[in-house]
Amino acid sequence: MEPFCSHYDICGGCQWQHLSYEAQLQHKETNVRNALQRIAKVPIGEFLPILPAPETQYYRNKLEFAFSNRRWLTTEELEDKSTPLFVDVLGFHKAGAFDKIINIDHCWLEPEPSNLIRNGLRELGMEQGLSFYDTRAHEGFLRQVMVRVSTVGETLVLLSFGEEDEPRRIAYLDAVLERFPQITTLIYCINTKVNDFVLDLDMHTYAGKGFIEEQLGHVRFRIGPKSFFQTNSRQGEQLYSIAAQFAGLDGTQNVYDLYTGVGSIALYLAKDARQVTGIEEIEAAIDDARENALLNNIDNCTFYAGDVKNILTPEFAEKHGKPDVVITDPPRAGMHPDVVKLFLQLESPRIVYVSCNPATQARDLNLLDEKYRVEKVQPVDMFPHTQHIEAVALLVKR
Q: Active-site positions? A: 356
The DSSP 8-state label assigned to residue 133 in this structure reads P
- Identify the CA nearest to 322 among candidates 236, 377, 397: 397
3-state secondary structure (DSSP) of residue 44:
strand
**Cα–Cα distance between 60 and 159 in angstroms, integer?**
19
Q: Which long-range contacts (C-beta less than 8 Å, at least 24 apart) are formed by 247-250?
A: 247/272, 247/325, 247/327, 247/350, 247/352, 248/325, 248/350, 249/273, 249/325
The Cα–Cα gap between 319 and 69 comes to: 56
Q: Please, are residues 142 and 134 in contact by the beta-carbon 8 Å criterion? A: no
Q: What letter does residue 239 receive in the DSSP assignment? A: H
246: nearest Cα among 279, 268, 216: 268
DSSP-assigned states of every residue in 166-216: HHHHHHHHHHHHHH-TT-SEEEEEE--SSS---TTSPPEEEESSS-EEEEE
Q: How far is the C-alpha of 83 from the C-alpha of 180, rounded, in Å?
A: 33
Is residue 95 classed exposed, middle or buried when 0-12, 13-18 and 19+ CB atoms within 10 A define those classes? exposed
Residue 12 contacts by C-beta under 8 Å, 6 or more apart in sequence?
94, 95
Closest Cα to residue 164, out of 200, 194, 188? Answer: 188
Distance CA 255, CA 240 (A): 15
Q: What are phi and psi of 327, to 5 degrees?
A: -100, 130
